[in-house]
Copies of this chain bind each other. A is one copy, B any other.
Amino acid sequence: MALTAKRLRAAILAGTLAFVAAPVRAADEAEVKDFLLDNGLELVVIPDHRAPIVTHMVWYKIGSADEPPGKSGIAHFFEHLMFKATTNHAAGEFDRAVSDIGGSNNAFTSYDYTAFHETVPPSALEQMMGFEADRMRNLILTDDVIKTERDVILEERRSRIDSNPQAVLEEEVSATLWQNQPYRIPVIGWMQEMKQLNRPDAKAFYDSYYRPNNAVVVVVGDVDPDAVKAMAERTFGKVARGPDLRPRIRPVEPEQNTKRTVTLTDARVSVPSFSTQWVVPSYHTARDGEAEALDLLAEILGGGNRSRLYQQLVVKQGIAADAGAYFQGTMLDATNFTVYGSPRGDAKLADVEAAVDAEIVRIAKEGVTDDELERAKNRYVRSMIFARDKQDDMANIYGSTLATGGNVKDVQEWPDRIRKVTADQVKAVATRYLVLDHSTTGYLLPQQQAGN
């Protein structure tokens, strides 16, 4: 379907949103309302009266990392299947209803969640809730539906992964970095397993996870929280609670003891590049402010053009076309911290990597200055204001946090926790986690530069 490209992109981006954007200002905290319906569905309402529009998101606490062994791709498969016919609506009816009122809708899948969302005028919110409540339980999963949509996801894999050297490399880097955790397995699935997904698999998955007690509904916009709650009760509230779900306890990583590399050489690559990743705690698994310190470490080391990597490699030395760092904090299990770079002009990839490594060694050894820490915190505050301006960012922050073991308070107190991080804490996480001998580096090389 036409939406699939956009959907996959959203899936890939979802994990980084909390890092790019940031939560509401303290002044708005009291306005956020968190309800729990009798059937276990959680409803979070964030009033935003600047424009007559509302963003409605349904987050299911089921992602690719929850899939049964050998069934990779089934979580993302549902991102597609949920747009097919239900016992109450023909396939495409929901999409047409959204278009008819000038709204937009989409869906995305990540390791830890699957989300469906619409942006519409407030008058259409209850209708959207009705459609979402309907497809939560009433999908018609026939062999024919499965076969047709399976062909779509297979083609999606071919076009978005298999024909893209960067995507193939990223898959194998993940399969290398993660020795035990299911983040090793691609969200879209391994081809040989996707091909075998069938109706019994889909039915079992749907019946286990598409339940009100496994969902978080986030509504941001020009609405009144109590009125939204009443709408949710009239729609989602009619859906029967499902059996209790087992705690999301997944295999975790063993100790990291080696330096690993993954190299893909491909004639379609023109500019070589590399990325180095480490296993680090996420907001959900970290203790003692380590996740907040990792967010600031990523910002100082490589978060944009004020960062050390950009200033040193791109501006001063002029050897890199690009260089940076990021931390995927909003994950249920241990996550990754990544640095990356690519050369410019006559510079070699090895020179860029060496310069990035030198910055890693320096920040782990010497730490950061109070001044640059303060500036990094200020950049975060600015990003919060930016996020506040975008309704869908706000919805994403709440939804991704709530779907990965956090709560409303975690989102709201996050700015304060960021402000409390000290330079010593940033140095401590750099020293503890950014150990080059225990990292995984991916290299994307043009054919002629295989020996680089």
Contacts and interface: CB of A to CB of B under 8 A. Distances in A.
Contacts of A251: 69-70, 72, 190, 193
Interface stretch (A204-212, A237-245, A261-269, A375-383): A261-269
Interface string A402-437: 000000000000000000000000000000000001
B260 A261 contact: yes
Interface string A433-447: 000010000000000
Contacts of A185: 180
Nearest to A177: B176
A258 B263 contact: yes
A100 interface: no
A315 interface: no
A188 to B, nearest CB: 11
Nearest to A165: B257
Interface residues of A, number: 34
A179 B173 CA distance: 10
Given A257-B168, A260-B262, A252 B192 contact: yes
A254 B70 CA distance: 11
Contact of A259 (B182, B192, B193, B262): B262
Contacts of A169: 257-258
A254 B191 contact: yes
Nearest to A180: B190
A172 interface: yes
Majority SS at the chain A contact face: mixed
A413 to B, nearest CB: 30
A227 interface: no
A263 B250 CA distance: 27
Contacts of A193: 251-252
Contact of A260 (B168, B171, B180, B263): B263
A27 interface: no
Nearest to A256: B172
Interface string A47-89: 0000000000000000000000110100000000000000000
A255 interface: yes
Contacts of A184: 179-180
Nearest to A173: B258
Interface in A153-203: 168-169, 171-172, 175-176, 179-180, 182, 184-185, 190-193
Nearest to A437: B265
Nearest to A71: B251
A410 to B, nearest CB: 25
Given A180-B175, A254-B191, A255-B191, A70 B249 contact: yes
A175 B179 CA distance: 5
Nearest to A260: B262
A185 B181 CA distance: 11
A191 B180 CA distance: 12
The 10 closest A-B pairs by CB, nearest first: A175-B179, A70-B251, A190-B254, A259-B263, A172-B258, A261-B261, A258-B264, A258-B262, A260-B262, A168-B257
Given A175-B179, A192-B252, 10 more contacts: A69-B69, A168-B257, A168-B258, A172-B179, A172-B260, A175-B180, A176-B176, A179-B184, A192-B254, A259-B264
10 contacts: A69-B250, A70-B252, A72-B180, A72-B251, A169-B257, A176-B179, A190-B254, A259-B262, A260-B261, A263-B437
